[in-house]
Structure 1
Amino acid sequence: MEAWIESLLALLALPKFGLSTVFVVAFISATLLPLGSEPAVFGLVKLNPAMFWPAILVATLGNTAGGAVSWWMGWGAERAWEHARHKPVEHRVLGWLQRFGAKACLLSWLPVVGDPLCAVAGWLRLPFWPCMAYMAIGKFARYLTMTALLLWVLPGQFHP
């Protein structure tokens, strides 16, 4: 197992593969797996400041694509649940998300609740493309804010 982890880390080494690593880490972190992508984005930008905008955009794309996978997983889970129950599912807990609709996906950047929010949006069959647009806006704002904060507001805290 340790050899597998070491080979995976070597494969995703930031200085060697840069943007592809940021995409993969951002994609995986947007699924229900517990992984944070901000350190990968920050690390790449810290090593190569000229990669600021490409890293932000690639991370946004990867994280939004991962959110799309979560949306589709929720959609499929809802269909399987309905098929197994043979009656519609209505929960008052989901009322908030139904009321706000796709715009609620702006909150997909939040830790802990953001990734499940994407799956619940699929479960509720909220429109796919508006959900993706709102997810992308929220995720872009998070990467831009977090990376800029770490680079320019707290620059003395981190050294290459």
Structure 2
Amino acid sequence: MSSLWLMFSAAFIAATLLPGGSEVLLVALINEAADSWLALVLAATIGNTLGSVTSYYLGSLGRFATTPEAMAKGRYRHSISLIQRYGYWSLLLAWMPLIGDLLCLLAGWMKLSVVKSTLMILIGKGIRYLLVAAIALHWL
């Protein structure tokens, strides 16, 4: 049970603006207890998703601190155009290093649907952790 909390916590922290190696931890924990791979994947997915939803809410609070014009002209313009073009579907990429955190922040800033955003984040992160687990278990 403690390994599940460890996995959840590491995945949560890795999804916020702090860097982390939750995939490495997942592989290590699967190597220790291969029979609990599904519980570990679920803990990682839920923790990482909740971390990204935290970023989403931080982004929604930032709406009042920065004008849309300043955001659209600054370094965020490419990510903003990605979200404007694909909407909440772009959040399937929330698992990607660097861009994922920014996409979640901007989704909140742009007031995308929290339910749809959370669902897309969950799906993208779940697929990533399933792939990591499959590699650790030598399924791929």
TM-score scaled by length of structure 1:
0.78
For residue 91 of structure 1, the aligned residue among 65, 72, 87 is 72
Greater relative contact order (Cα 8 A, min sep 6): structure 1 or 2? 2
1:157 is matched with which residue? Answer: none
Aligned partner (choices 15, 20, 23) of residue 5 of structure 2: 20
**Contact in 1 for aligned 2:34/2:137 (Cα 8 Å):** no
Q: 1:46 matched to which residue of 2?
A: 31
Q: Which residue of 2 aligns with 1:78?
A: 63
The residue identity in structure 1 corresponding to 2:49 is: T
TM-score normalized with structure 2 length: 0.88
Query: For the pair shown, which has the larger CA radius of gyration, 1 or 2?
Result: 1
User: Counterpart in 2 of 1:57?
Assistant: 42
Q: Deviations over 1:82-133 (max 9, x none)?
A: 4xxxxx5362722321121111100001122112211111111111110000
Please give the secondary structure, in 1, of the residue aligned with 2:17. coil
Q: Is the 8 A contact 1:98 1:124 kept in 2?
A: no
**What percent identity do the matched residue pairs reach?**
37
Query: Unaligned 5+ residue runs, structure 2?
Result: none
Contact 2:11 2:47 in 1 (8 A): yes
User: What SS does the aligned partner of 1:79 have?
Assistant: coil
Check conservation: 1:27, 1:64, Cα contact below 8 A.
yes
Following the alignment from structure 1 to structure 2, what is the Cα–Cα distance between the partners of residues 115 and 95? 16
Moved over 3 A (4+): none
Aligned length: 134
TM superposition shift of 1:32: 0.8
How far did residue 146 of structure 1 move? 1.3
- Equivalence for 1:34: 19
* Distance in 2 of aligned mates of 1:36 and 1:114: 14
In 2, are the aligned partners of 1:38 and 1:143 still within 8 Å (CA)? yes
